[in-house]
Amino acid sequence: MLNILKLKSTGLLLTLCLLSPAALADVILHAFDWHYNEVAQRANEIKNLGYKAVLVAPPLKSNAGNCAWWQRYQPQDIRVIDHCKGNKQSFQAMINALNDSNPARRVAVYADIVLNHMANERNGATDFPGQAALNAYASNPTYWNNQRLFGNLSQGLFSSWDFNPANCIQNYNDVWQVQNWRLCGGGGDLGLPDLNPNSWVIQQQRAYLQALKNMGVKGFRVDAAKHMTIWHINQIFTSDIKNGMYVFGEIITSGGAGNNEYNSFLAPYLQYTDHKAYDFPLFESLRRAFSFNGSMNELVNPLAYGQALANNRAVTFTITHDIPTNDGFRYLIMNPTDEYLAYSYVMGRDGGKPLVFSDSTGTDNNRWVNAYRATFMQRMINFHNRMQGQGMEVLASSNCAILFRRGQQGVVGINKCGSQVSFNVNTNQRFYWYRTYRDALTGGATFSINNSNHSFSIPARQARMWYAD
């Protein structure tokens, strides 16, 4: 139950959100393009760091001869798990390793799933998995039956009858084209064969998700959900499949309410499904706030203006795998300090499930390789987990900085500018008196309160995440 108390003080809208005590720690590690064995080997470390879910590479069959990350997003067959990042055995071993006899240490596996299209290969062929794959299945039935999730591997899965017409999307503002035509690369590229939501396709996709759920998967990231009709999505995700699962869709937009992509794609997705979604509106709010001419006032209550998703529907982030690995999105990369400060906002605020991108491709000189275990990330997760169930009140903000508390247990200050910022705050009924507050990020910056006013100072280009000892 969410109770919202709106306060006005010196013209600043302050919002206090009181969450149910049952709220749980919830940070998701996106182990982007990691081998399943690597996730399993690091299972105890992931548990100890405080993550509660790991999003892993799509479990399907893709081109084993090409290990480029995007191959995992071009399915040849969803009936088996086999690609250069693992197979069904390693996938199951990973799930088992992340499980734990202690419920507090269990880490859920979220599978990245591709339901919109099949692979762009064999000169635009629309028979999948293709005769070569069927011959391979027949030549080594023991191996391939061990990788099987469902279905009869002696027969094909999809034929030309199961795809929409081979038209490339020309206008990305046209909902019909975006959801019924192909994603193509230009220059005569034939594109990704776009699945038609006929009864056979839906039956196979349901069987796929149920098989993954039976293996112990606890959530699904729906890749390219923007390119699927809502009717198709709702046909696949039955109540039985959704029960006990965390489902979130990838609906890329360049803003929130008022933005054409938001109005055409994300708003209907949220209205007509009960799924969660990447919080691209909040991401754009963060980018604006941290830009050279932006204002941190924009982060006081972006939800109130449709510039963030509702707390219980949002997967929050500062970067996704598509941003550095696709030329068309690279302009969205923040500089490292701004990304760090944005993470302190995402991890410090109340609402949404934070997603931490940790890359294995080595893009950008390994910038995000092992990002999941960076010292600052460990400390932010620790603060985030300590604050579960605590409300949020923005205490002060300016163009340069924002200060908000998490109940009486914590307070977050973020300063994007080049000089120190201080805010004088009334402490009555907001903080514990005569108790030490310690900064999670440095471990050494402390303060205590013994009167009705306290001045919070945030160094230049720094964040503070204080918690009550």
Residues with a known catalytic role: 223, 250
Q: What are the b/e assignments for 105-115, b being 16+ CB within 10 Å? A: bebbbbbbbbb
Distance (Å) of CA 361 to CA 34, 260, 405: 9, 33, 37
Give the bridge partners for 412, in sequence order: 404, 465
Give the bridge partners for 315, in sequence order: 278, 353
Distance CA 199, CA 451 (A): 68
Distance CA 262, CA 247 (A): 19
Which has the closest alpha carbon to 87: 138, 132, 148, 157? 148
First to last CA, the chain: 28
The two beta strands, 3-9 and 12-18, are: antiparallel
Which has the closest alpha carbon to 257: 267, 272, 271, 249? 267
Which has the closest alpha carbon to 336: 314, 364, 296, 361? 364
**Contact (CB, 8 A) for 311 and 1:** no
The residue whose two tokens read 């002696």 is 154
Length of the chain equals 469
Secondary element (H or E) of residue 92: helix 88-98
Q: Is 38 exposed, middle or buried (0-12, 13-18, 19+ CB in 10 A)?
A: middle
Q: How many CB atoms lie within 10 A of CB 247?
A: 21
Q: How many CB atoms lie within 10 A of CB 335?
A: 9
Distance CA 141, CA 153 (A): 9
